[in-house]
């Protein structure tokens, strides 16, 4: 076992040496390859059996069932040419032997000239979220069953104030599709004063939710004076101040 672990470590280090440490000016193909290295490493960190066949990653559960791991970088367009301003959304999917997708995990969009440290951190998020989602389907992996069976999902009471219905839908859609740890959401109440409440269930902390919400707002050109947020235990209020600012295409 020690020899196997040492071999894995050596292979990982050699792969990293093939990466330009600067990590700038990455094409989508190059970025994908670098993500796959860290994705494989993270699964191995959880003592999961992993096979890499021609950059196709397979993982095996405690019953030795085989699953295909698929990484996609979603962009507005595909190009093999260097473009420092190009953005991509990393999406990690797992499917079974019947080619049925079991999970899909994603993060917020990144620039394609992202550095290795951020690639590693995003890979950690994607892998952990994938493991948690697989556990909900009764798929477990040895040596950390206690971790994934302990589904401590928290209910966060989310209140959106001052946003239009379109903006509310966009914010909730992003929180469902892109925030790690998401479990499910329940619609609460709404009124004519643009106050809408939701029960958001997640295994992420409310501090992380606040951080990710801030990223979403900044990506939509909101600055600190355009909105503010309040957290208190398991309640989160997001308040829009500047009426002239809008989320995405909700003009």
The domains of the chain are located at: 2-149, 154-240
Q: Which residues of 183-192 are buried (b: 16+ CB within 10 A; e: fewer)?
A: bebeeeeeee
Mean local confidence (pLDDT), 23-37: 73
Q: Which residues of 74-109 are buried (b: 16+ CB within 10 A; e: fewer)?
A: eeeeeeeeebeebbbebbbbbeeeeeeebbbbbbbb
The two tokens of residue 225 are: 């004076």
Report phi then psi at 203, rounded to 5: -105, 10
Confidence bin at 77 (pLDDT 50/70/90)? low
More confident: 30 or 51: 51
Whether 78 has a pLDDT exceeding 60, the answer reads no
Whether 35 has a pLDDT exceeding 60, the answer reads yes
pLDDT for 22 equals: 43
Which residue pairs from 65-69 have beta carbons closer than 8 angstroms and sit at least 24 positions apart in sequence?
A: 65/96, 65/97, 65/139, 66/97, 67/94, 67/95, 67/96, 67/97, 67/102, 67/134, 67/139, 68/94, 68/95, 68/96, 68/99, 69/39, 69/43, 69/93, 69/94
pLDDT for 198 equals: 92
Of all residues in the chain, what percent carry a pLDDT higher than 70? 80
Q: What pTM value is reported for the model?
A: 0.53
pLDDT for 5 equals: 55
Hey, which CATH number is domain 154-240, 3.30.1360.210, 3.60.15.10, 3.40.190.10, 3.40.50.300?
A: 3.30.1360.210
Whether 217 has a pLDDT exceeding 90, the answer reads yes
**Three-class SS of residue 72?**
strand
Q: Residues 86-140: pLDDT tens digits? A: 788 899 999 999 999 999 988 877 887 888 888 888 898 889 888 888 887 888 8
């Amino acid at each position: 076992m020690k020899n196997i672990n040492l071999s894995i470590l050596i292979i990982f280090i050699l792969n990293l040496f093939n990466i330009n440490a600067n990590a700038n000016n990455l094409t989508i193909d190059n970025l994908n390859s670098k993500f796959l290295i860290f994705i494989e490493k993270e699964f191995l960190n959880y003592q999961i059996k992993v096979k890499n066949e021609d950059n196709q990653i397979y993982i095996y559960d405690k019953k030795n069932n085989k699953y295909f791991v698929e990484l996609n970088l979603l962009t507005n367009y595909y190009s093999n040419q260097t473009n420092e301003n190009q953005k991509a959304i990393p999406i990690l999917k797992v499917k079974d032997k019947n080619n049925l997708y079991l999970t899909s995990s994603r993060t917020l969009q990144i620039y394609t000239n992202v550095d290795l440290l951020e690639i590693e951190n995003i890979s950690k998020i994607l892998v952990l979220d994938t493991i948690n989602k697989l556990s909900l389907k009764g798929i477990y992996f040895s040596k950390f069953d206690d971790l994934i069976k302990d589904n401590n999902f928290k209910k966060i009471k989310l209140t959106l104030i001052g946003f239009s219905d379109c903006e509310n839908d966009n914010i909730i859609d992003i929180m469902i599709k892109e925030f790690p740890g998401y479990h499910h959401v329940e619609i609460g109440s709404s009124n004519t004063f643009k106050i809408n409440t939701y029960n958001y269930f997640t295994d992420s902390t409310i501090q992380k939710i606040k951080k990710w919400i801030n990223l979403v707002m900044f990506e939509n050109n909101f600055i600190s004076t355009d909105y503010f947020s309040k957290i208190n235990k398991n309640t989160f209020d997001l308040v829009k101040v500047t009426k002239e600012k809008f989320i995405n295409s909700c003009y």
